[in-house]
Chains A and B, each alone.
Chain A
Amino acid sequence: MIKYVWLVPLFPLVGFTINGLFGVRYIKNRAHWIAVPALGLAWLTAILVFIDVLHGHTGEVTLWDWIVTPDVHVRVAFWVDQLTAVMLMVVTTLSFFIHVYSIGYMGHDPGYPRYFTYLNMFVFFMLILVLGSSYLLLFVGWEGVGLCSYLLIGFWYERESAWKAGMKAFITNRVGDAFFVIGMFILWYYLGSLDFKEVFEKAHMLSPEIVTIATLCLFMGATGKSAQIPLYVWLPDAMEGPTPVSALIHAATMVTSGVYMVARSNVLYNMAPFSLEVVAVIGCLTAFFAGTIGTSQFDLKRVLAYSTVSQLGYMFLGCGVGAYAAGVFHLMTHAFFKGLLFLSAGSVMHAMSDVLDMRLMGNLKKYMPITAATFIVGGLALSGIPPFAGFWSKDEILHHTFETGHYFLWFLGTLAAGITAYYTFRAIFMTFFGKERIPEEIKHHLHESPKVMTIPLIVLAIGSATVGFFGLKSSSGESFFAGFLAPVMHHVHGTEHVVEHAAEHAVHVPASVLIAISVAVGLTGILIAYLVHMKRFIDPEKLVKKTWMIHRVLYRKYYVDELYFALFINRTLDLAFVSWKFDQFIIDGIVNGASYLTRFLAWVTRYCTEPFVVDGAVNGASYVVDLTARVLRRLQTGVVSNYMLFVAMGLFGLFSIYVFARFF
């Protein structure tokens, strides 16, 4: 089947092409008849490929040569191994169910065919990103999904906040992508190739400094795409897009491509311990700070958005401590439960006529029991409560963090896990339980979503509940998932030694204790949420008033947006203003000055030079001729004898001169 792996991205491409060409004109509200089967076929193909990989087949499928010059040789080729297979399954499964869900969610939208066109295009690019066998092809997918993300965030482009959010996402990603490109240039400059295989084989030729710089540049790209500090600001705003888009692109797949890229480049990162440390610290800080922001938001989707940022931080933490498999595992479980949470939130939004403020919800379980149930399953998974998916992956990451001696990061990560549990259940209690605070005009058409939306929810809920079992430990002490990915994760002897070295000096704490701690922290978070938002032991409003300073800072997201505006955006605008003024006054001044000068010269020519100098010369010449002629014409008497006299006089004159000259 691996030979036919190119079919997987082909189906969405075909769907995208058909819908893109004929959607708006002819297909219209039947667009899902193209898009969803295309995804279904892609999903089935991906499953076949996955089964093949399970049997141990991996390999490369070269499609065609793309760039061929003496110096550069780039092929369009797909690289299929265990990591690719996992990503392939995550992307196609989630995409398929979210496509199905979209049929119901976007049903009445006038942009229906456009929506499915973009969505198919996104899946195509995401598959290119995952399958590409070189950094360049990965980058093609990377930029492609960025474009689709931009298009879909700004899907309702009539809304100012939507297109602004789209621009923000796109521009923020450009910053990261610039670094990514620099990283690629460095690799290409020193290795002469961007193929994964070749780069990883030759990686040992690089000096440690070069690897560190290159990996940091690549990681900068990942912070843009995967919304990490300092470039995470675009992801919460990206919630302006349709909710299935938030689920698919901004939770399950696209934003995890940075994690995929880091895991894919594990050979390089293993050679650069400093970069790994940076990845771990950035990931952990993001996990913590995004979590704290999540506790103060009232917009349901924004809570989930900050939660996504936070969970992505966990994935990077996992990669940063060298547990790439754990990071990818969390990527997979997160794709399921966060996709589920977003889709459930979308279901709520659908019922609530696009109201998202949790202060206007409450006791929704009465009206939409399926959505409530699936949301709670997703919430439990997110909070890391066993046996739901999030528990396994998050715990594995924290376990590895502790094991490698990053005690502070472990502490922060565990704390963030508690915060995660708190804000998740705060959202659940505020939305589905407690007093009804729903406005009357919304209440009377409150309804459970149609089957086409609830069935994907149920499927994903089952996934969220069970997918974690891949993380069960096998007899060798490694989880099944890590064992499966082991062939992709190349161990460099040096770092392995370092890790073991650290492990030797590590405080030996049994895994069970760590697990117990993290579960306890999670449960504590839920308990606090229960006490505050259900039992109201502490009135949340009063709590907000008491700690208004902290709340204000959290609610305004640490003023990071304001900071960026003050530091970069407004300065850029200032620069643009200065440039504009420069253009207006200096450049235009030169141009206008030239024209004024020309006009002035023309005026001078017209009124000074022309009448007096040129005409003067012409008229003067004629005047002189006239004057001369007036005098000389007196000679022309017309009398022949006069002429003869002149001739005689002339002759006499000449003769006289001759004689005078000759004899005197």
Chain B
Amino acid sequence: MIPLSHILIYSFLMFAIGLFGALARRNVFIVLMGIELMLNAVNIAFVGFSSHLGNIAGQIMPIFVITVAAGEAAVGLAIVVAIFRNRLTVNIDSFNLLKW
């Protein structure tokens, strides 16, 4: 049986890669993918804890998260499409309308 620490390290690494992708990359798609990675890292942590603690609630939570992530991806991609139509770019730095 895989020990909990391995799962958490794995989850942490995945979260860190997602965070890095979301913060450091300039392509909107990559950012969205980073966000997906972070969400899924959390899901893995949930499942790991659920198996370790024998609590089924930890497995139900990821299903909610996946559902929300699907909605988020749909809305996010739709926004990206709308912005792209206006700006002809997917570079996140040019998404600076809400500025002082």
Contact = CB atoms under 8 A, between A and B. Distances in A.
Contact of A640 (B19, B24, B92, B100): B92
A293 B40 CA distance: 136
B5 interface: no
Interface string A632-655: 011011111100110010000000
B31 interface: yes
Contacts of B75: none
A639 B100 contact: no
A650 to B, nearest CB: 13
A637 B31 contact: no
A641 B92 contact: yes
B23 A641 contact: yes
Contact of B98 (A638, A641, A644, A648): A638
Contacts of A636: 98-100
Interface in A596-641: 633-634, 636-641
B100 A641 contact: no
Nearest to B38: A648
Contact of A644 (B23, B96, B97, B99): B23
A648 B23 contact: yes
A651 to B, nearest CB: 9
Contacts, number: 33
Contacts of B95: 638-640
B22 interface: yes
Interface in B11-41: 19, 22-24, 26, 31
A641 B34 CA distance: 12
A641 B22 contact: yes
B77 to A, nearest CB: 15
Contacts of A634: 100
A645 to B, nearest CB: 5
A164 to B, nearest CB: 93
Given A644-B22, A645-B23, A648-B19, A637 B92 contact: no
B92 A633 contact: no
A636 B97 CA distance: 10
Nearest to A633: B100
A641 B96 contact: no
Mostly, the A contact residues are helix
A147 B40 CA distance: 116
A640 B97 CA distance: 10
B91 to A, nearest CB: 11
A653 to B, nearest CB: 15
A639 B97 contact: no
Contacts of A640: 31, 92, 95
Contacts of B19: 648
A638 B100 CA distance: 8
B22 A637 contact: no
A641 B32 CA distance: 11
A644 B26 CA distance: 13
Contacts of B98: 636, 638
A638 B92 contact: no
A336 B98 CA distance: 120
A644 B18 CA distance: 12
B23 A639 contact: no
A445 to B, nearest CB: 115
Nearest to B20: A648
A638 B22 contact: no
A636 B100 CA distance: 6
Interface string A129-164: 000000000000000000000000000000000000
Nearest to B35: A644
B96 A639 contact: yes
A634 B97 CA distance: 14
B98 to A, nearest CB: 5
A639 B31 CA distance: 13
Contact of B31 (A633, A638, A641, A648): A641
B23 A637 contact: no
Nearest to A652: B19
Nearest to B25: A641
A637 B93 CA distance: 10
Contacts of B24: 641
Interface in B43-99: 92-93, 95-99
A633 B100 CA distance: 6
13 contacts: A634-B100, A636-B98, A636-B99, A637-B96, A638-B99, A638-B100, A639-B92, A639-B93, A641-B22, A641-B24, A641-B26, A641-B92, A641-B93
Of all A-B residue pairs in the complex, the 5 with the closest CB atoms, nearest first, are A638-B99, A638-B96, A633-B100, A636-B100, A638-B98
Interface of A: 633-634, 636-641, 644-645, 648
Given A641-B24, A648-B23, 7 more contacts: A636-B99, A638-B95, A638-B97, A639-B93, A639-B95, A641-B22, A641-B23
